[in-house]
Structure 1
Amino acid sequence: MQRFPFRFAPAYRLPALLFGVTPGTARVEVDDTELRARFGPWSLRTPLTNVASVERTGGFQFLKTAGPAHLSFADHGVTFATNGDDAVCVCFHEPVRVLDPTGRLRHPGATFTVADPPALLAALEDLEER
């Protein structure tokens, strides 16, 4: 299993803490069968076969990303952000449940601001080659 901690920019620490998001409760994990992410009280779990594509992204606005997990009104994706600079966006074949415990709202993609975006990108791109 590979574990990818989040990189916390100083300005994001307090807003994240208010929602229970800390370095101890924020991570992405990839093993042979699953992608799992935890962001304070929010979590995402999906089979690796559900990963459709991955790309590097960034340049997020503080007010749209600081604090809790965020819903994108543009594409209904979910963002787990602890900085606004650098992230990995993962698109899924089948949308996943994160923000809505009933499962009626599902997300076609998720964005993670991990400490080492190239390493997460490489881990997930390796899966596309299998």
Structure 2
Amino acid sequence: MKTTSHHNLGAVPPPSLETNPAEKAVVHKSLYWGHDAQVLFTGWPGTNSGMYALAVIFVFVLAVMVEWLNSCNFMKQNGESVGKVVVQTAIHAVRTGLSYMVMLAVMSFNGGIFLAAVGGHAVGFVLFKRRGERKDVL
């Protein structure tokens, strides 16, 4: 006697999003080293070494910007006005969006991109957080 699940009766597999099987992207499940990567956008940076270098620099700058936005106190004065709340909310949204972009770039599992993200956060910490701590001490 053959048993079947009622969930698969007449089920058709979902259509493939790939039009050309040769264009399938390799999905890595651990860190790998090389310039053949896909970071943030489909086909970018691809196999071009120059575009890979640009992607590494882009991720580094994003991580530095996240640290800068984390250290800034744009509206530290007393009093809560609607304008201040809107500006603080907008800055928080931008900071969160940039943080997620860095995280998604790291999820490419490319070693160079990972090092760029960590290095950018470290440089941003030294440039912005340490400066703020020194002002408090002096």
Structure in which a larger fraction of residues adopt helix:
2
Structure in which a larger fraction of residues adopt strand:
1
Instruction: Judge same fold: TM > 0.5, yes or no.
Output: no
Which of the pair has more CA radius of gyration?
Answer: 2
- The two structures have a TM-score, normalised by structure 2, of 0.25
- The two structures have a TM-score, normalised by structure 1, of 0.26
